[in-house]
């Protein structure tokens, strides 16, 4: 008798592959992520077929992408990133503060304080749900707000950058593949990710491999890249997994909440773009890299967009990581301080 769990997720990779392939044919940015994401969502929303996430699939995709992102952190690039450390801190802080507009929109529409706050913070969905649970938020709304924000950014930002800010076709340079180094990096990355997961740390299967890869690449100046097709495989696994968070009921459950989340996300993106323009004028750093780094999306998605457009992947990644650290460590103390001031 076939495993019922396989019946739910067995077709997910095939649907994701079909969507990624179609998106690649029309030249959509990040086609294997966006295409697989949209294909899975459409199947779950338009048919009775509720595809389930591939067991461990999204973690595996993050593992691959984390190693790939870390390989961009060469010694020269690390010196540049460290030289702009305070700029990165400032940009990440501005992005975090811009989420206040979304909190205000939620409060004005009648959401309770905890739900408005933790559904609006640009942190990881799982982490914000956990913090919301400790502070009395409505968890379904926190999860919905976080998922919808990431979905909006993933669908809009890569396309906007490709079709409005891209300066022309990119020329991808072939990078030699050193399988000895990659074997070591993938093994060490998996061990650190497993350890971080056991310790309850956020986003372990992206941060663990990324940290190992970045450290090795910057210390030993490793000149290697991932085998051809690896990035696409990581995108496909992440996109297929993210799509399984949405179905028809999700979009029917609270249309006004969805509309407010979309409005708040759009305003946050506009504020982040304006801040990036100001920082770029002050520092003469690449406007596109700064803007992408300050978008309230996921680290993997924004770093992949930077890689596709040949922008500064380390700068984008550093801004995204710093913002996430701000939110994770400051969200709960700030919320509790705000609650005491209002009581």
The DSSP letter of residue 50 is -
Give dist(CA 297, CA 231) in Å, integer.
Answer: 18
CA distances to 142, 240, 325 from 328, in Å: 15, 26, 5
CB atoms within 10 A of CB 43: 21
The reported pLDDT for the residue numbered 300 is: 87
With residue 214 as reference, give the H or E element that holds it: helix 204-220
- Tokens 């294909």 belong to 39
Q: Which residues contact 284 (CB under 8 A, 6 or more apart)?
A: none
pLDDT tens for the chain, 343 residues long, are: 344 455 578 889 999 999 999 999 988 888 999 999 999 999 999 998 889 989 999 999 999 999 999 999 989 888 888 888 999 999 999 888 889 999 999 998 888 999 999 999 988 777 888 888 889 998 888 888 888 898 899 889 888 887 776 554 554 556 788 999 999 999 999 999 999 999 888 889 999 999 999 999 999 988 888 998 999 999 999 999 988 888 888 888 778 888 999 999 999 999 999 999 999 998 888 999 999 999 988 888 889 888 888 888 999 999 999 998 888 888 989 999 998 887 6
User: What pLDDT does residue 204 have?
Assistant: 92
Helices (H) and strands (E) in the chain, counts: 18, 0
Span 88-143, pLDDT tens digits = 999 999 888 889 999 999 998 888 999 999 999 988 777 888 888 889 998 888 88
* Distance between CA atoms of residues 292 and 276, nearest Å: 9
Q: Would you state the pLDDT for residue 245?
A: 85
């Amino acid at each position: 008798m076939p495993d019922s769990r396989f019946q739910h997720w067995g077709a997910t990779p095939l649907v994701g592959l079909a969507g990624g392939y179609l998106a690649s044919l029309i030249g959509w940015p990040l086609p294997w992520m966006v295409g697989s994401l949209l294909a899975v969502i459409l199947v779950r929303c338009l048919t009775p077929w509720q595809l389930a996430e591939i067991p461990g699939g999204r973690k595996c995709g993050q593992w691959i992408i984390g190693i790939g992102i870390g390989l961009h952190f060469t010694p020269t690039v690390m010196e540049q990133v460290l030289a702009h450390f305070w700029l990165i801190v400032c940009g990440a802080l501005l992005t975090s503060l811009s989420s206040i507009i979304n909190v205000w929109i939620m409060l004005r529409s009648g959401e309770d304080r905890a739900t408005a706050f933790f559904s609006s913070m640009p942190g990881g969905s799982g982490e914000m749900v956990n913090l919301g649970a400790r502070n009395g938020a409505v968890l379904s709304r926190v999860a919905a707000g976080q998922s919808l924000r990431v979905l909006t950014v993933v669908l809009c930002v890569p396309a906007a950058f490709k079709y409005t800010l891209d300066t022309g076709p990119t020329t991808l340079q072939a990078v030699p593949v050193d399988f000895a180094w990659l074997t070591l990096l993938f093994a060490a990355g998996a061990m650190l990710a497993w350890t971080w997961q056991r310790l309850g740390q956020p986003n372990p299967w992206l941060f663990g491999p990324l940290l190992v890869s970045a450290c090795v690449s910057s210390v030993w100046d490793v000149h290697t890249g991932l085998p051809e097709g690896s990035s696409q495989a990581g995108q496909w696994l992440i996109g297929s997994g993210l799509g399984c968070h949405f179905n028809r009921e999700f979009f029917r459950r609270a249309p006004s909440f969805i509309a407010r989340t979309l409005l708040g996300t759009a305003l946050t993106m506009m504020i982040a773009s304006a801040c990036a323009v100001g920082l770029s004028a002050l520092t003469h750093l690449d406007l596109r890299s700064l803007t992408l780094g300050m978008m309230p999306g996921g680290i993997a998605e924004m770093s992949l967009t930077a890689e596709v457009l040949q922008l500064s992947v380390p700068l984008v990644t550093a801004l995204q990581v710093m913002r996430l650290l701000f939110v994770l460590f400051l969200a709960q103390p700030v919320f509790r301080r705000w609650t005491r001031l209002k009581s």
